[in-house]
Structure 1
Amino acid sequence: MSAQESCLSLIKYFLFVFNLFFFVLGSLIFCFGIWILIDKTSFVSFVGLSFLPLQIWSKVLAVSGILTMGLALLGCVGALKELRCLLSLYFGMLLLLFATQITLGILISTQRVRVERSVQDIVKKTIQNYHADPEDTVAEESWDYVQFQLRCCGWHSPQDWFQVLILRGNESEAHRVPCSCYNSSSANDSAVFDKMIFPQLSRLSPLARPGPSTDLCVVSAKSHIYREGCAQSLQKWLHNNLISIVGVCLGISLFELGFMTLSIFLCRNLDYVYDRLARYR
């Protein structure tokens, strides 16, 4: 066996092993998404949060797992069986994915102000329409999750919630905000947090009655709530995690470039192997 044939064999099995790993990873992601979709109660108990929009995340994970499995399967079969059509398709899909990532990165960098303005408009619309439609609370649940995780309230400040009709109550009452704004660690009190969590856990139970949610957990704006808006918190989070985000994106891009290079190299040099085999016939 010549040095070139040995190199091609090494590349073939290298592609096969790494794509087999990504196939297993994709299957795990897919199973995780299906688990969330089927057994929401167990997942909520596991993560400890119930206002996460489970249905959306489960579908995103399931679709991501399927795409990862499909791409990895192309690489595995194409490399092991030395099929040029599958290797070419594998290269094309990786190239499309890489080009999409580069395009998104350029658009986000060049249109950052417009993106920020669009996000701000979406958040303000979500706040103004908070619980306006009890059958569609996905956006509200997502924003509650953001406020709870980033320890913030409103977009600019808690005052963004003061004009929301469903939270105002009687005119004599103080301004109120959603329970996701409540700073339980500052108050050393988990009662409001439990009030926000457990009613939603009961709705996820198989014994719960069907129908839209009507529960609304609010607290007084004069109590222990987060005083910082989520716009500032998001900027801080991006600043603190910028190196990690860039590193992950760069690592994924390098993996894609490496796999594209190996697949196209193997695909282009298969003719050399076939010619040598034909000579010995």
Structure 2
Amino acid sequence: MTVKVFVAQRVSLLFIKTSPVFGNITMKIYQRELLRCMHILFCLVILVLRAGLLYLAVSIRERLFNFNAFLYDYVTVLVFYLITSSSVFIVVSAVGICAAVTFRRRFFVAYSAILAVLYLAEIVLFGIAFNGWLNFNATVEEAMDYHISNYRNDSRDIDYVQEELRCCGKHREDEWFDTLAYIPVSCCPSRPPTDTQDFCSLLPPDISFIIHNTGCLKRLQEMPLTGIKIITSILIGVCAVEVLSFCASTYAIREIGTVVSTKNVNITREYELTKKSEKNINIYNEKQNNTRKAEVLFQCNARKGVHYVHKNVNQLTDSGPNVKHTK
């Protein structure tokens, strides 16, 4: 292993440690930011729509509170459902925004689980509400019959309806003759100031301008129609956004899990590469040591050889004149 290879391996390890995105299957930074912005946008839309439903429910309660005796399912039951569900979903939307900002897996899991449970519960309640809405007209008619038949005991609710809606009786004003034998004064609020009787006068010249001749039942049944259309439209829109938000949250959970598993794989690879590099470095150092030892040994042997040669030459030189030549 050369020094260049060793430096290249260390640089690659440093890049793996410091790089925010690594591995073959990872979520890139721009994808993560796009997912974060989309999820925050969905949560903000849910929050705004739920806040609008909450305001609408409070407005319905305040405006139609005096009609509660006839519109109980609309003024009380529906309003209670809207206030409760909107408040819960506002809190859940805040959790979703926190999950998108921090991009933590556990926050996304909690948000998706709560949203799924609430969405299923909302579908069930919506089905129950739709079934009740089919019987709404019959419920209003029963309430109307009850208050007309008990007018002598409690007349406040029916009088308020006839004065505010400018109507009289269930279908027509002459239906009061079957119950009271006269028409209540709430059917003729525009009578002359001189008329101080406790019932509406049927004297000429023209009583059609004094006594309301329109029934109250139809007007009561038509009162919630506009509000129901607005509420239904908002609920359909918010349900669609909630589905998109759930899909985005589920995708984020999957991608975060992929990134975590990829990081674990790369950490393992990094550890193995580090071990391999250390092993190669040890082998390289051992080879270098062996080479140095061989060089030192060679130098020592060479020095010994040179010294031996010089010694023999000196011996031959010293004994040269004493050598006797024989024939």
Counterpart Cα distance in 2 of 1:182 and 1:277: 81
**Match 1:148 to one of 164, 170, 176:** 164
- Matched residue, 1:260: 246
Cα 1:128–1:276 change in 2 (3 A) is farther
> 1:118: which partner in 2?
139
Question: Is contact 2:27-2:255 (8 Å) kept?
Answer: no
Structure 1 residue aligned with 2:183: 175
Q: Which moved more, 1:17-26 or 1:233-242?
A: 233-242
Partner amino acid, structure 1, of 2:35 = I
Are positions 1:13 and 2:28 aligned together? no
Contact 1:88 / 1:264 at 8 angstroms: preserved in 2?
Answer: no
**TM-score after normalising by structure 2:** 0.47
The aligned amino acid for 1:95 is: L
1:91 aligns with 2:116: yes
In structure 1, the gaps of 5 or more residues are: 38-42, 192-217
Once residues 247 and 25 of structure 1 are traced to their aligned partners in structure 2, the CA distance between those partners, rounded to angstroms, is 11
Pick the aligned partner of 1:220 from 177, 200, 225.
200
Q: CA RMSD for the aligned pairs?
A: 4.9
8 Å CA contact 2:51–2:90 kept in 1: the answer is yes
Please say if residues 43 and 93 of structure 2, whose CA atoms lie closer than 8 Å, have aligned partners that are also in contact.
Answer: yes
Indicate conservation of the 8 Å contact 1:158/1:177, yes or no.
no
C-alpha change, 1:11 and 1:229, in structure 2 (3 Å) is: farther
- Cα distance in structure 1, aligned partners of 2:201 and 2:244: 54
Contact in 1 for aligned 2:53/2:231 (Cα 8 Å): no
User: Aligned partners of 1:5 and 1:238: how far apart in 2?
Assistant: 50
Whether the aligned pair in 2 keeps the contact of 1:79 and 1:87 (CA below 8 Å) is no
- How many residue pairs get aligned? The number is 220
CA distance in 1, matches of 2:227, 2:56: 26
Report if the CA contact (8 A) 1:155-1:231 is conserved: yes
- Preserved CA contact (<8 Å) 1:98 1:253: no
User: What's the CA shift for 1:96?
Assistant: 2.0
- Determine if contact 2:169/2:175 at 8 Å carries over to the other structure: yes
2:173 to 149, 158, 164: 158
State whether residues 91 and 264 of structure 1, in contact with CA within 8 Å, keep that contact through their aligned partners in structure 2. no
Q: Counterparts of 1:1-281 in structure 2 under 5 Å?
A: 6-20=30-44, 22-23=46-47, 51=66, 60=80, 63=84, 66-81=87-102, 82=104, 83=107, 84-105=109-130, 107=131, 112=134, 114-130=135-151, 132=153, 140=157, 144=160, 148-149=164-165, 151-159=166-174, 161=176, 174-178=182-186, 181=187, 220=200, 222=202, 224-233=210-219, 247-279=233-265, 281=267
Task: Label 1:69 to 1:248 Cα distance change in 2 as closer, same or farther (>3 A).
Answer: closer
Identity across matched positions, percent:
17
- The aligned amino acid for 1:87 is S
Change (3 A) 1:118 1:130: same
**What is the alpha-carbon distance in structure 1 between the residues aligned to residue 188 and residue 92 of structure 2?**
44
- CA distance in 1: counterparts of 2:90 and 2:120, whole angstroms: 17
CA drift at 1:176: 0.9
Residues 253 and 6 (structure 1 numbering): CA distance in 2 closer, same or farther, change over 3 Å? same
CA distance 1:27–1:126, shift in 2 (3 Å) = same
Q: Could you tell me which amino acid in structure 2 is paired with residue 157 of structure 1? A: R
Write the letter of the residue equivalent to 2:200: S
Q: Which runs of 5+ in 2 are unaligned?
A: 1-20, 69-74, 268-327
SS at structure 2 position matched to 1:220: coil
Q: Quickly say closer, same or farther: Cα 1:228–1:77, change in 2 above 3 A.
A: same
Q: In structure 2, do the counterparts of structure 1 residues 63 and 247 end up closer, same or farther at CA, with 3 Å as the change threshold?
A: closer
1:256-280 deviation per Cα after TM superposition (whole angstroms, max 9, x unaligned): 3333333333344432233234445
Separation in 2, partners of 1:8, 1:146: 61
Distance 1:87 1:252, change over 3 A: closer
Distance 1:237 1:34 in 2: 16
CA apart distance, 1:32:
9.6
Deviation at 1:93, TM superposition (A): 1.0
SS for the counterpart of 2:92 is helix
Partner Cα distance (1:96, 1:147) in 2: 40
Q: Residues 163, 259 of structure 1: CA spacing in aligned structure 2 closer, same or farther, 3 A cutoff?
A: farther
